[in-house]
Amino acid sequence: MLRIDAHQHFWKFDPVRDSWINEDMAVIQRDFLPEDLKPVLQQNGFDGCVLVQSAQPEFENDFLLKQAAHHDFIKGVVGWVDFFADDLEQRLEEYTQHKKLKGFRYILQGAEDRALMLTPEFRKGIARLQKFGYTYDVLIFPDQLAYTKEFVAEFPDQPFVIDHLAKPYIKDQKLDGWKQDMQAVAQHEQVFCKISGMVTEADWKNWKKEDFRPYLDTVVEAFGPNRIMYGSDWPVCLVAGAYEEMLGIVQDYFASYSKEEQAAFFGGNATTFYQLA
């Protein structure tokens, strides 16, 4: 069974395009490319990764797919596409020539309309994914989880995965609202959850492993061991510590789980969800 980091990024740093990387995140204000990640994955026993978009222009897909074509350890790519485009179906069909392109993500967390996912136009776009076997990564903040329950209910056969536990308020140790909404979303069997991006929602300089336990307990209980997957969110995670420190949080948490459950979390579930080879 493959051991997979199901969520990471590459970029050639552009201060305009990547304006979300502010001065507080100066450590990642530089290029991050396959040669930077490969040794990190190898040192930590991973066979490969899933490369996820971090910029919205569709031409960025070309950059991501080029990296995947030249590096075997990149097992899958989650790209970006305009779900509102009139030629969406044609675009999706053209992408089928890229076997490593597994799905798409739209940056809903920054949308002015917090319920953008429920608009008829967006739902019409999502409805086209299943025909081509594409997954959808849900990138949201906790205030959008209530809409997400309604959104995923409309597409019972479309594979969804919630990125970064929907970014709970770990720094403030707030569970109410987020916990109930995550439990509601998890009732839909076609929805998975990435246990990723936690350290960036915590106190970057002062987090402790126990800070994450209530959030891990919630997600693991709600989704079960077969619908959760490990993702580092590298290199974004570096703002709050080294890769090994972040990995250590989940390694400790799952240490008491069976070997089968650990293998599922650290790669098996991602392999199934994204149909990796």
| Arithmetic mean of pLDDT over the chain | 97
DSSP tag of 196: -
Q: What is the pLDDT of residue 57?
A: 86
Tell me the pLDDT band of 212, cut-offs 50, 70 and 90: very high
Q: Mean pLDDT over residues 199-224, rounded?
A: 98
Q: What is the pTM of this model?
A: 0.97
Tokens of 223: 């989704």
Q: Mean pLDDT over residues 210-224, rounded?
A: 98
Structural domains of the chain sorted by starting position, each given as residue range(s) with its CATH number in brackets: 4-274 (3.20.20.140)
Q: What is the pLDDT of residue 10?
A: 98
Percentage of the residues of the chain whose pLDDT score is greater than 70: 100
Tell me the pLDDT band of 230, cut-offs 50, 70 and 90: very high
- Tell me the per-residue pLDDT of 107-152, one tens digit each, with 9 for 90 and over: 999 999 999 999 999 999 999 999 999 999 999 999 999 999 999 9
- Tell me the per-residue pLDDT of 90-109, one tens digit each, with 9 for 90 and over: 999 999 999 999 999 999 99
Q: What is the pLDDT of residue 141?
A: 98
Give the list of residues 6+ apart from residue 185 with CB closer than 8 angstroms, or none.
145, 148, 149, 152, 162, 191
